[in-house]
C-alpha cells in the first residue's frame, strides 16, 4: 500500500513531538519550518510530569535529564525577599528546567521525518481529488493527504481551520534570559511586586533561567532607555540574586504575552491544529509547551488507531479540548493575580500565599501536572 503523506507545518515542540509519536508505518511525515534553521531561542522552559511521561514513552527521558535541572522547591517571595510560601513537587517524575535549545536538540536528534528549512507555509488549497496543496513562501508547492498545523500562536494554518483573528494581548510584557553564575540558589522562585514579577529556575551547574514581567503596552520598545538600564530601574532594588542575574545576562529576549479564547473545531478537511496553533495560553502555569506535547502525542495516537479520518481528529479534540481550556483559564487568572497593581489587592494576595499551607498549593497545582496521556485509551 502506498504511504500517505502528512505535512507538519512548524518544527517547534508540538510538530516534532507529533512526528516522534506517530508510530504507524502507513505515513511519510514531512516537517516544514519557516526559519532558516530548526532551533530554539535562548531561554529556559519548565517541563512538568504531564509532558515528561510522553518523553519517557518516546524513549527521550534520560537524554532530556542529562542537560536539565530539577525544580525541587519553588518559593513565592516579595520583592524584598520575604518568603510568602513554597511548594515541593513530588511524584513519579520530577519537574525540570532545561534550556529550550537542549530540549529541542533532543527532539530533533530522534526525529526521522523529512525536514525542510526556509519553508514558511503561505496558504492551503483543497484539490478536487481530496488532497491538500501547501503553498510555500519560497514559491514551491506540494500535495499532501493531511496537514498538521503546528505553527505556533500566530498560525497561518489556524486561519484556514478557524480564522478567529489575532491573539489577545493580556497587558504585560516579559523579558527572559539564561545566565551562568558562580553561586547556587538551590531552588526556583517567583517574586511578586506591583504589576511586576520575576521568576528564577535552576537549569544545571550554576546556569539559571530567569523571566521578568511588567504591565506595559503591546510590544513596548525599551529604547531609547535600553533594556539593561530599564530592567535595572524596574528590578534593581529587588532581592538577591535578581539584579545580578539580569545584569550578567548577555542576550535578553522580550515578548508580549498573548493567548486566544479557547475555541472548538481544531480540524477541517484533514487539516488539524496542535500546540499553540490550537490552544495558546499565557505562560503563568508553565504549561503551554507541556500541553502542546500532550496534544501532539494524543493526535498521533488517534491517527495511529483511526487513520487520517474525522473520527481520529474528533477523538483527539474530545480528549484534549477541556484540558487545554482549563489551563488557558487558570494561567490567565494567575497572570492577573501576579500583575496586580492595587495595594489592597496586593496585600490580600500576599496574605493568601502566606497562609496557604504548602501541601494545599501542591494539591491545587498537581491536577495540571498529574495527567498521564500515555495511559489514556484513545
Ligand atoms: C515567555 C514564555 C515562557 C514560557 N514558558 C513555558 C514553560 O516554562 N513551560 C511550558 O511548557 N511552556 C512555556 N511556554 C509556552 C511554550 O513556549 C509554547 O506553548 C510552545 O513553544 C508551543 O510549541 P509549538 O510547537 O506549538 O509552537 P512554537 O514553539 O511557537 O513553534 C512553532 C514553529 O512553527 C514555525 N512556523 C511559524 N509559522 C510558520 C509557517 N507559516 N510555516 C512554517 N513554519 C512556521 C515557527 O518558526 C516555530 O518553529 C512559554 C511561552 C512564553 C511566551
pLDDT digits (tens, 9 = 90+) for 201-260: 999 889 999 999 999 999 999 999 999 999 999 999 999 999 999 999 999 999 999 999
pLDDT of 297 higher than 80: yes
> What is the 349 CA–ligand 1 centroid distance (Å)?
30
Looking at residue 32, what is its pLDDT? 98
Q: pLDDT by residue (tens digit) across 75-109?
A: 999 999 999 999 998 889 999 999 999 999 999 99
At residue 117, what are phi and psi to the nearest 5 degrees? -85, 170
What's residue 285's pLDDT?
94
Question: Residue 154 C-alpha to ligand 1 middle, in angstroms?
Answer: 10
Residue-wise pLDDT for 137-182, tens only, equals 999 999 999 999 999 999 999 999 999 999 999 999 999 999 999 9
Task: Answer yes or no: is the C-beta of 323 below 6 A from any ligand 1 atom.
Answer: no
**8 Å CB contact between 289 and 55:** no
Residue of the CA atom closest to atom 51 of ligand 1: 283
Residue 18, pLDDT above cutoff 90? yes
Query: Average pLDDT of the chain?
Result: 96
From ligand 1's centre to the CA of 82, what distance in Å? 33
Q: Domain 4-167+259-375: what homologous superfamily?
A: FAD/NAD(P)-binding domain (3.50.50.60)
pLDDT at 1 over 80: no
Q: Which atom of ligand 1 is nearest to the CA of 51?
A: 11
pLDDT at 323 over 80: yes
pLDDT, mean of residues 106-116: 97
Residues 6+ apart with CB under 8 A from 149: 9, 10, 155, 156, 157, 158, 160, 161, 271, 272, 273, 274, 277, 278
Check whether 193 has a pLDDT greater than 80: yes
Given this model, what pLDDT does residue 361 score? 79
Ligand 1 center to residue 371 CA distance, Å? 21
Cβ pair 296, 9 in contact under 8 A: no
Q: Is 324 in the pocket of ligand 1 (CB under 6 A)?
A: no
Amino acid at each position: 500500500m502506498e504511504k500517505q503523506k502528512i505535512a507538519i507545518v512548524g518544527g517547534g515542540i508540538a510538530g516534532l513531538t507529533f512526528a516522534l509519536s506517530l508510530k504507524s508505518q502507513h505515513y511519510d511525515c514531512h516537517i516544514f519550518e519557516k526559519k532558516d534553521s530548526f532551533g530554539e531561542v535562548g531561554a529556559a522552559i519548565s517541563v512538568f510530569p504531564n509532558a515528561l511521561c510522553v518523553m519517557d514513552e518516546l524513549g527521550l527521558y534520560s537524554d532530556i535529564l542529562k542537560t536539565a535541572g530539577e525544580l525541587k522547591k519553588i518559593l513565592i517571595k516579595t520583592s524584598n525577599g520575604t518568603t510568602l510560601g513554597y511548594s515541593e513537587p513530588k511524584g513519579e517524575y520530577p519537574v525540570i528546567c532545561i534550556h529550550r535549545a537542549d530540549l529541542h536538540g533532543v527532539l530533533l536528534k530522534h526525529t526521522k521525518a523529512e525536514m525542510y528549512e526556509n519553508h514558511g507555509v503561505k496558504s492551503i488549497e483543497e484539490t478536487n481529488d481530496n488532497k491538500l496543496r501547501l503553498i510555500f513562501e519560497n514559491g514551491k508547492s506540494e500535495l499532501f493527504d493531511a496537514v498538521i498545523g503546528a505553527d505556533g500562536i500566530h498560525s497561518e494554518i489556524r486561519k484556514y481551520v478557524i480564522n478567529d483573528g489575532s491573539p489577545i494581548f493580556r497587558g504585560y510584557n516579559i523579558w527572559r534570559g539564561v545566565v551562568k553564575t558562580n553561586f547556587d540558589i538551590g531552588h526556583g522562585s517567583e517574586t511578586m511586586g506591583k504589576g511586576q514579577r520575576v521568576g528564577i529556575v535552576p537549569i544545571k551547574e550554576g546556569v539559571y533561567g530567569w523571566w521578568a514581567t511588567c504591565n506595559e503596552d503591546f510590544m513596548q520598545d525599551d529604547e531609547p532607555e535600553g533594556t539593561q538600564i530599564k530592567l535595572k530601574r524596574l528590578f534593581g532594588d529587588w532581592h538577591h540574586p535578581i539584579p545580578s542575574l539580569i545584569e550578567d545576562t548577555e542576550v535578553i529576549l522580550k515578548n508580549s504575552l498573548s493567548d486566544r479564547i479557547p475555541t472548538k473545531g481544531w480540524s477541517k478537511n484533514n487539516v488539524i491544529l496542535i500546540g499553540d496553533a490550537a490552544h495558546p495560553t499565557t505562560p503563568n502555569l508553565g504549561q503551554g509547551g507541556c500541553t502542546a506535547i500532550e496534544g501532539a502525542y494524543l493526535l498521533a495516537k488517534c491517527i495511529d488507531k483511526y487513520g487520517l479520518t474525522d473520527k481520529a481528529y474528533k477523538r483527539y479534540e474530545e480528549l484534549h479540548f477541556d484540558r487545554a481550556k482549563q489551563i488557558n483559564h487558570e494561567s490567565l487568572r494567575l497572570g492577573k493575580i501576579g500583575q496586580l497593581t492595587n495595594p489592597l489587592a496586593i496585600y490580600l494576595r500576599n496574605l493568601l500565599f502566606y497562609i496557604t499551607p504548602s501541601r494545599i498549593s501542591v494539591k491545587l497545582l498537581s491536577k495540571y501536572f498529574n495527567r498521564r496521556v500515555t495511559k489514556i485509551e484513545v
